[in-house]
């Protein structure tokens, strides 16, 4: 008998486990994959560790700012900042055909750029930033509002509107075209007000630091163990069944597997969670290994949000992918990261159609579709940064089909459902709680904060 069983060793599940075990709760985390981390994990390939999901750790601020989300989280985990070995970005860019904005963890410098390039919107931008600061975006009762509509109320330039929406939507928007303003505020603060960093040597040591704390406090972790059923009886989860034949019991069940995914595990699915719409936003990401440093090809930023059209569009593409907008990540360009294994890596992510990728049969047809996308990405990069094609020595690619296979996420989406369970508690099953993307906190630090917040609010 456990106090809490946690479904999934994603970042939100691990952080909840650390928080609960610190207070003496008997906790067990069940993870279907062989590696922890969920959508921000790693795997081994040819003797090398490859990160999954990690573009940047947002909310990067100096250690002394106590109220910042990252530093608040570290205090709650009883982890010292240096244990995570974090490296700040040098700079990142938002690139449109008409204009480029630079991000470098210095918001006043970013604001000065905006005011210089868009003088007619300088006052409106300041007012928008103040509106974002004053919004209680984490409140479970915060009303859902249109981000596009509110941004339009403050800014007259469609270009500036798009340039601000682009990185925020690409980094964490679960819905097509528009975005909930609360979600917009959360991600704007983490990306624009605060900034980017990364664990020096990637997700493996980062996760090991968290899991050491968890295990040292008595927490149990079972990797390669999949939850296959949640038995419902008298308005609560009575037991948890695994693919290993175990039937486990706990006072509370905390799931970071997703709201709809959790509902489908229930012997009697709660209508509240079962009605969550599947997320429509998918991604394909190619991990290119080069024979030189990316900066030798002119790729000097850490992260690039690049839009190749006059207007920014954020919706599932009609074809397999939409190449008009990309996220590029160069891990070796972060400060002090010249020595990392991924120093020659360029990761290129584009919007993808979950429906089209999931409909492809595994095998030659699927492999050909992946190769076609990689060829198109290489051609796109070569046209922009000549020499890129010749520099590619190897590549790896994931699609919505990959994500669904390994994580069980419906539609193979990263950002979850457009609907969020902000309070983190089921109204229909008294001992079931949700953390992670479908609770409403996104990104690495958002996921970590989500697990700790739900543990604090409902389980301690």
Q: What is the pLDDT of residue 449?
A: 94
Pairing of the two strands 27-31 and 2-7: parallel
**Under a CB-based contact definition with an 8 Å cutoff, are residues 10 and 38 in contact?**
yes
Are the C-beta atoms of 103 and 110 separated by less than 8 Å? Answer: yes
- Looking at residues 116-131, what average pLDDT do you find? 99
- Report the distance separating Cα 156 and Cα 20, nearest Å: 48
Burial class of residue 417 in the structure, from the number of CB atoms within 10 Å of its CB (0-12 exposed, 13-18 middle, 19+ buried) = buried
Longest dimension (CA), the chain: 65
What is the per-residue DSSP string for 139-161? -TTPPP-BHHHHHHHH---HHHH
Note the pLDDT tens digit of each residue in 99-112. 999 999 999 999 99
The DSSP secondary-structure symbol of 66 reads T
CA trace torsion 376, 379, 383, 389 (10° rounding) = 150
Given pLDDT bands bounded at 50, 70 and 90, which one contains residue 54?
Answer: confident
CA distance 133 to 156: 21
Q: Which helix or strand (DSSP H or E) is residue 407 part of?
A: helix 400-407
Give this prediction's pTM: 0.95
- The pLDDT tens digits of the residues spanning 257-293 come to 999 999 999 999 999 999 999 999 999 999 999 999 9
pLDDT single digits (tens) 228-249: 999 999 999 999 999 999 999 9
Domain ranges of the chain: 2-54+202-277+419-459, 107-192, 278-407
CB 52 within 8 A of CB 37: yes
What fold characterizes domain 2-54+202-277+419-459? FAD/NAD(P)-binding domain (3.50.50)
pLDDT for position 409: 96
User: Residue 67's pLDDT is what?
Assistant: 85
């Amino acid at each position: 008998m456990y106090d809490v069983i946690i479904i999934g060793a994603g970042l939100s599940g691990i952080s909840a486990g650390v928080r609960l075990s610190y207070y003496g709760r008997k906790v067990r985390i069940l993870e279907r994959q062989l590696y922890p981390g969920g959508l921000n994990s790693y795997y081994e390939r040819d003797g090398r560790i490859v990160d999954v999901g990690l573009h940047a750790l947002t909310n990067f601020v100096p250690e002394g700012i106590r109220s910042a989300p990252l530093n608040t989280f570290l205090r709650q985990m009883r982890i010292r900042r240096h244990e995570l070995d974090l490296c700040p970005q040098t700079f990142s860019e938002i690139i449109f055909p008409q204009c480029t904005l630079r991000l470098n963890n210095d918001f006043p410098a970013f604001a000065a750029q905006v005011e210089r390039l868009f003088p007619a919107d300088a006052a409106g931008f300041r007012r928008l930033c103040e509106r974002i600061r004053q919004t209680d975006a984490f409140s479970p009762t915060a009303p859902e509002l249109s981000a596009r509509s509110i941004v339009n109320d403050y800014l007259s330039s469609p270009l500036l509107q798009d340039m601000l929406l682009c990185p925020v939507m690409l980094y964490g928007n679960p819905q097509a075209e528009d975005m909930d303003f609360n979600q917009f505020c959360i991600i704007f603060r983490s990306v624009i007000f605060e900034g980017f960093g990364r664990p020096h040597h990637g997700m493996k040591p980062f996760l090991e630091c968290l899991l050491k704390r968890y295990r040292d406090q008595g927490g149990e972790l079972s990797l390669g163990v999949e939850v296959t059923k949640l038995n419902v009886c008298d308005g609560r989860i009575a037991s948890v069944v695994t693919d290993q034949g175990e039937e486990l019991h706990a006072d509370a069940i905390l799931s970071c597997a997703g709201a709809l995914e959790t509902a489908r595990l229930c012997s009697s699915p709660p209508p509240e969670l079962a009605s969550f719409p599947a997320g429509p936003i998918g991604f394909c990401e190619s991990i290119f290994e080069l024979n030189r440093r990316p900066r030798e090809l002119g790729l000097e930023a850490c992260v690039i949000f690049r839009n190749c059209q006059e207007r920014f569009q954020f919706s599932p593409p009609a074809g397999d992918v939409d190449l008009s907008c990309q996220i590029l990540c160069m891990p070796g360009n972060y400060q002090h990261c010249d020595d990392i294994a991924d120093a020659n890596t360029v990761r290129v992510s584009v919007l993808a159609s979950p429906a089209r990728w999931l409909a492809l049969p595994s095998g030659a047809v699927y492999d050909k579709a992946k190769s076609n996308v990689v060829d198109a990405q290489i051609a796109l990069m070569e046209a922009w940064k000549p020499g890129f094609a010749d520099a590619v020595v190897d590549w790896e690619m994931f699609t919505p089909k990959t994500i669904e296979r390994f994580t069980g996420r419906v539609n193979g989406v990263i950002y979850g459902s457009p609907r969020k369970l902000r309070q983190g508690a089921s109204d229909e099953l008294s001992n079931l709680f949700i953390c992670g993307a479908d609770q409403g906190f996104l990104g690495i630090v958002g996921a970590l904060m989500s697990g700790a917040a739900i543990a604090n609010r409902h389980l301690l």
